[in-house]
Structure 1
Amino acid sequence: MEINLGTIAIDIDFHPSRDLITAGLRDGNVHQYIMSNHKGYWKFMHTLSLAELLDSSIMGMSILATDAETGSAIARLEDAHSAAINRLINLSEAIIASGDDEGCIKVWVTRQRSCCNTFAAHQDYISDMSFASDSLTLLGTRYSSPTITVN
């Protein structure tokens, strides 16, 4: 089964408990799809601008949580980074990690809307992150380097 996104996807993720896919696109948009009536095909829901999700009013340095169904704003972490945010992952139901264009990774407790840890992981942008919950290990990579930073 294929979903034609119309442009190159730079990231894609499944919702943890629903039949929902979100794809971050190279053109700066985010597409969301839902499995239609569990019949094996994906139905387009809506497009969100990456600027809406990462608050372009201050160059993408804030984190905006949105409702997966409607795209409407739920919460915002203002001035989360000093550089544009380019990667965001869930570590648990209440903890997220964000990576920016200057190689900084921050870990956030979303309920308190506060940063609990900061890592100066690289001197270049964070290209991807992964979390191993069994060992509480956060991996960060940058595209232009053959290295992996483990925190």
Structure 2
Amino acid sequence: MSSSSPYKIPESVLVVIHTPALEVLLIERAESPGFWQSVTGSKDAWDEPFEATAAREVAEETGLDVFAPGHRLSDWGLQNIYEIYPQWRHRYAPGVVLNTERVFGLCVPEARPVVLNPHEHRAQVWLPRLEAADRCYSFSNAEAILQLPRIFQAER
């Protein structure tokens, strides 16, 4: 949550971490066993650029540096607007029911273990993209993973 507000900002990122072979990293939420996802997270300030949010969240949740040699963070130019689950709305200002999620990809040279934040995630797995999409809890996350071949090819 932002240091200037007790509420979460309803603007977030989804970062699909993948290899050139289209293996995808999924992480399992600590408080929700079976809830597998890519890196996600909200802005810390309204004026925080989405790219900075993506870099921060990747570092916080996996220990990866998006600017390390061989890593390539890319803004996919996609946004999802979705309804915030009722059980999580208390984290947002009264009346806020929608979140805008910006989609990024992070290509890393190879699948390797990452350093999870144990307060947020309990397990990790690298999977071929179709298996990763099937395992995702979030529809928008699964859809982003399914678009990976088209977007990755366009970036090359």
Normalised by the length of structure 1, the TM-score is 0.27
* Larger RCO (CA within 8 A; separation ≥ 6): 2
Greater share of strand: 1
Return the index of the structure with the highest Cα Rg: 1
Normalised by the length of structure 2, the TM-score is 0.27
